[in-house]
Amino acid sequence: MGSRHPRLIAGRYEVQPLDDGGMGTVWQGYDRVLDRLVAVKQIRSDRHHPAELRRELAERFRREARITAKIEHPGVPAVYDAAIDRGTDAVEQLYLVMQLVRGVTVADLLAEHGPFPVPWAVSIAAQVCAVLSHAHAIPVVHRDLKPSNVMVDEDGNVKVLDFGVAAVLRTDVTQLTGTGQMIGSRDYMSPEQFHGVGVSPRSDLYALGCLLHEMLAGKRLFDGANDAALQHVHDRPTPLRGLRADVPEAIERLVLDLLEKAPEDRPVSAQEVFDRLSPFLPAPGAPVAARTGEPGADPGATPDPTRPYRHPLAPRRLVAPAGVPRPTPSAPSRVVAQRQALPTALAQELDVAEERAQQLVDSDRLSQAVMVLDAALTSADAEGVLDHPRVLELRNTHAAVLFLGGDVRRALTAFEELTDAFAWRAGPDDPRVLECQKQAAYCHAELGDTDAALAGFRAVQEHVRRQHDDRSRDALELRTQIGILLLAANRLREADQILRPLHDDLVATRGPEHPEAREIRDLLTRIRLTGGSR
């Protein structure tokens, strides 16, 4: 989304310029109306198809998008919109606009870690079953379940992607491609899909068997030495315990049942599969069971799909949000970073980013402004110059935009890091240090951390008092915030002790009818009515 010339879809969604890729390409997009990032999936309509076939595809697209939107399950990204847009070639293009999911796919986890611990594989498969049971009840059949369509988010929750896309493309009706080529992932397709005789919920269960086998074996069900279609139709799968001795017999039996060639020989439903997986799910409160080198061995490094079962409905842990890394170089290297000239290309990138971010902020497109600044600061971090004065200016802008956009927790981290950076450069009384401390206190207040907010405002107040009197603009602002926080915390006497002299000073400097004086007078009346005044 850093491009200055994104393509606009349906007059609302911005995506990067599109290429001539195949069907089902996904982009990160931006919703102009709601100022949020979205996922935009293009369902390409082949310009060589007859017009009536394109119309049929568009109609099916609308119908399937509506059906898919009815899958109200946290394991399915929400469908926000089904957009039809006429491209530059006058051919209608079809787009699904969906919730943007942040996580890692099972395909990527397998590539990085190899075979999963049994609890991991079982937890992922069980969560997929929960999703399929909701979808199949509508009924909606996924048709293209595979490792790259299953994602684990940072809390360990599994998301099944691309519901409805295969239904629009009709993987069981090959002639719609115009070439007779079958659409779908051949390594995970059931025999009936290869035969072209239609799909059912049990076709998804076959694909789930392929997925579970791959998660435990670390390789696909069939190695591709022969034609995938022939192998899925005719070859018997290798039992898992012949590949990995620690797989429980019941899990091996379940996978073999899922991989039966005839649909009627497979489990009846996703619910049955879930019930057979349940004895192997981690119990609530169970510790992480991961061996060194396996996913989960380093808590927090990789999303843990057992967490929803070990800690059901637990709140998310508050951790430092992802963003620009906190600079931790030694003092000599930081001195060099401050004195050296920025690389020309980076200096130009920062200038462009700042200008573009300001334009976006002026247009109230704060999410995009943050993305632009994130990209520029990542480049600065790669050059090791996060503490360079020019970069510090951009980091300050970044923190302010985060706060304006409501991402208060990231803003807090950014302001706290800037407080340290400016203090190291110019001393603790530098105005930029005090401003960042004050903004961090505002963040604490927004997050409901009253004690931390009070401590922050009072620390700044001490610095201000050494340089100005209690009637300066900065001092009056700080006294106001401290009094309001004390009142909000129901510390009425303390609030009264702050607000009463504050009111007198506001009347003396700004007059009795000044809005701020009236505001404090109202607060004092409230304290008096509740019996908190001295």
Q: Do residues 526 and 520 lie in contact, with contact meaning Cβ atoms separated by under 8 Å?
A: no
Q: Do residues 258 and 205 lie in contact, with contact meaning Cβ atoms separated by under 8 Å?
A: yes
- For residues 55 and 121, membership in a common domain is answered with no
Q: What is the pLDDT of residue 175?
A: 34
- For residues 154 and 283, membership in a common domain is answered with yes
Number of domain units in the chain: 3
**131 band by pLDDT with thresholds 50, 70 and 90:** very high
pLDDT digits (tens, 9 = 90+) for 54-90: 677 777 777 767 777 788 899 999 888 887 776 655 5
- For residues 115 and 218, membership in a common domain is answered with yes
- For residues 152 and 95, membership in a common domain is answered with no
Tokens read off for 176:
């719609």
Told to judge if 85 belongs to the known catalytic residues of this protein, a careful annotator would answer no
Tokens read off for 411:
């803003």
Nearest-angstrom CA–CA distance, 353 and 448: 32
**334 band by pLDDT with thresholds 50, 70 and 90:** very low
Query: Which DSSP string do the residues of 43-68 spell out, in sequence order?
Result: E---TTS-HHHHHHHHHHHHHHHHHH
Q: Which among 29, 64, 99 is the end of a domain?
A: 99
Q: What is the mean pLDDT of residues 330-343?
A: 54
Q: Do residues 228 and 186 lie in contact, with contact meaning Cβ atoms separated by under 8 Å?
A: yes
**172 band by pLDDT with thresholds 50, 70 and 90:** very low
φ/ψ of 31, rounded to 5, equals -90, 110
Catalytic position from the list 31, 144, 162, 374: 144
Q: What is the mean pLDDT of residues 339-365?
A: 89
Confidence (pTM) = 0.68
- For residues 303 and 389, membership in a common domain is answered with no
Burial of 107 (0-12, 13-18, 19+ CB in 10 A): middle
- For residues 305 and 334, membership in a common domain is answered with no
pLDDT digits (tens, 9 = 90+) for 94-127: 888 889 888 999 999 999 999 999 999 999 999 9
Q: What is the pLDDT of residue 326?
A: 44
- For residues 137 and 159, membership in a common domain is answered with yes
Residue 37: domain span: 7-99
Q: What is the mean pLDDT of residues 430-449?
A: 91
